[in-house]
Structure 1
Amino acid sequence: MRWKQRIAVVAGNAMEYYDIAVYAAISGWLSVLFEQHGVRHGSAMVWGIFALRFLIRPLGGILIARYAEKKGRKAALIVTSSLTGVATFAMAFMPVNFAGHAVVFAFLLLQMLQAFSFGGEYPTVINYLLRDARQNESARISALIVGSSLVGVVASLSIVLVLNMVLSDSQMLEYGWRIPLLIGGLNVVICFWFRTRLPFQAPEARAKRRRSLLNKHVLLIFMLTITGSVVFYVQNMASTLIGNALLIGELKAFYPIINSLLLMLMLAAVAIWVDKFSDPQKAYNRGVVSLLLLAIPLYWLMDSQSWLVMALAALVLSFISALILANLAAVLWQTAGDRDVALGLGYNLASSIFGGLTPAIINAVIPYGFVYAGLYVALSALPLFLAYRFHAKWNEDGETLAANK
């Protein structure tokens, strides 16, 4: 597969993350909109919807993965683009003046449709791109997948930031909040067109296995994903919370974008280095160990009064995050093998629980000091060691069973 085709594949993934980040970026306007239509506690409703959307992701991961096993992964990617496009356009054109209290339920339904789609999107992209990849390009493909997520986040934050600068508060409330959704919908349509022209990837011949949703592969993928989910959501979805708490003056508004752009550069550098001199599993392990040892002191330095110290701490954190995120997709794919459902369920369970809770946890602990955010991030590294311990035990049990036979 050519790199041009690979970029076409991950463009849809970028738009999925764009939609997640856009909802967060326009949340302030949506909360006012809800309250104008008689909904009490508009802000709580907006973030309640954001949290509830994560509940349906594992179901999307299972059903779309099974569809990919039967019809092929290209067909599954077309389905996810279709669902995302329908939900995004429906939100952009929602007649809120006629909806009244029902506007909350309409947004919840459409957000959950997007989340269902995304539950199948990311695992299918991993399987589609890494199935035929050469060994010396797996890290770059893995980094391309997560890098596309960052592109979606940066694009959404940048568009909303520009709109806030250009439009007045009344204009943003009247129609401005719809513009980033319309842009997202148009981009999803373009991605859909490209995906229909991707090469067909036949479903793999599969030996008959016992169908079990909760098995050792799901548990391994779940544990391996926890660290990546926490790191990604801290570096992106919670970066606004971190930026607001830093003593950096007017740069607070730009901190999330700067942070994500820095991480993108780090991802590219790490991926090129890993493909030339190492392999994704080793690089991922080094990143997780570094996170366990350095997260607490580095976040403690973020409380510094010195811009230079804060910048250096943020730089090192971005590098450690890049070691983890650039190689996560390749590690998950190696662990899952050809098990689409195991990857879809294990990945989405971890992302739903830890991705969904991370912004709330960071928001709760930051007032007490950045060191507590560092403690939470450091603890997220521990499941890797549990995963390897369980994996070793399962291998021992398998060898014992084979010997007894």
Structure 2
Amino acid sequence: MKKRIASIVLAIVMVLSVVNGYTPKKVTAMSTSTVPEGYTAINSLDDLALIRSNPKGNYILMNDIDMTDATKPGGSIDTGNGWVPIKDFSGTFDGNGHYIKGMHIYGTVSGVEYGLFGIVSGAVKNLGMIDVDIDIESDQRATYVGAIAGELSYGKVEGKVEQCFVSGSIKCDINNEDVRYRYIGGIAGAGESSSCVVANCYNRAQIDAYKKDGSTITNTAGIANAVSVSNCYNLGTVNKGEGYAIGGYDGYGDYEDACFYLIGTGKELSGSDVPLTETQMKNKNYYTNFNFNTVWDVDPYHNYLYPQLRNCPQVRIKQLSIVKQPDQLVYNQGDKISLSGGEVQITYEDGFQATVSMDDSMLGTYDMMQLGAQNIMLSKSGASDSFSITVNEIPVSAVTISKPELVMEKGDIEDLTAAISPENATKKDVVWSSSDDSVVTVDQRGKVRA
């Protein structure tokens, strides 16, 4: 005898399904608060001076250092010429996105190389030299002057300066008629060879270098002389516009690529140095071959619109505060988060403020598969704030059985399947059961036996 089977029951169990979700973007701070293995922390002016005891070591700057008062005439470390350069540095100095402010070097000098470092045959990176004040006279046969290094040399590795910038003033008066070995630059004075490198740097310092008769020193450059210079730009006036805007050349090597300068600040060495108007200098589209994904950035919210270094910004953000939350704060699992309607106030260290719309570039890591409340972090250049959202389950709205009604004889076997709606429901596994096992049984694969 055939029996009509109309009593297959479905129960939902708590098993998470795989749904389409948003891949979060990780935002990292511009500087680290952790000292890397193999590095020595520099926290103060005294720590900076200790580099002289081990100029082959690796160092990382953990905060800004202001040497304005200490290196001025009569300052606490002034021995007659202000800051005494760290000579023959062959290690690594990581500025870590921090600044050294107000370095004074002044008066009649008797040495050869002048700058934060005298000679660098190692690497200096991620450093801002703010309000540099170099004003010296020299009657020495050779003079190398730059804010970061007087000279880049080569030893086991070539001297290299990367992702650094300079502002302030550099002045040199040369009293010796023989000026063949006089090299004045914004970043570095000169390199021992063109294998020395200055890359992804810029200069805002005004540079003036003259002989005692009032004529200019030929090898005066906005970036550096006789080195390989790439992806750099200059805003500082060099010898009233008569010096080299990027790199100077005296016949034994200077190679430049993708370098730009504000028209009127100096002259070009070769066709690779590109003069731009002020309007063009503030438009990243004119900086051919600059990496604006990981190295450079233009902050559209501040009135400083020239390119900045991501690892060492010219204008740093002091605080980011949410002033208006996004319109949507409740989501289903797997939804893409929306920042529409949200606003943040950005406060910069120089006091400038801007209230702007939230955008995806500010988003930190989050997980839209995680149910319940979670904080969504917004970050920009190391400053951050957060807001809370709620992620709910996607409920099951319907269950459809492949054969909702069966007519079977004893011993018959049928296979059933169940379709869950919607397809991206959070919990979509099923449990099969019969209301009367004496009539029909069903296993967890949906196999029915009469």
Same fold (TM over 0.5): no
- TM-score class, shorter-chain normalisation, is under 0.3
| Structure (1/2) with the larger helix percentage | 1
Larger Rg: 2
| Structure (1/2) with the larger strand percentage | 2
Greater relative contact order (CA < 8 Å, ≥ 6 in sequence): 1
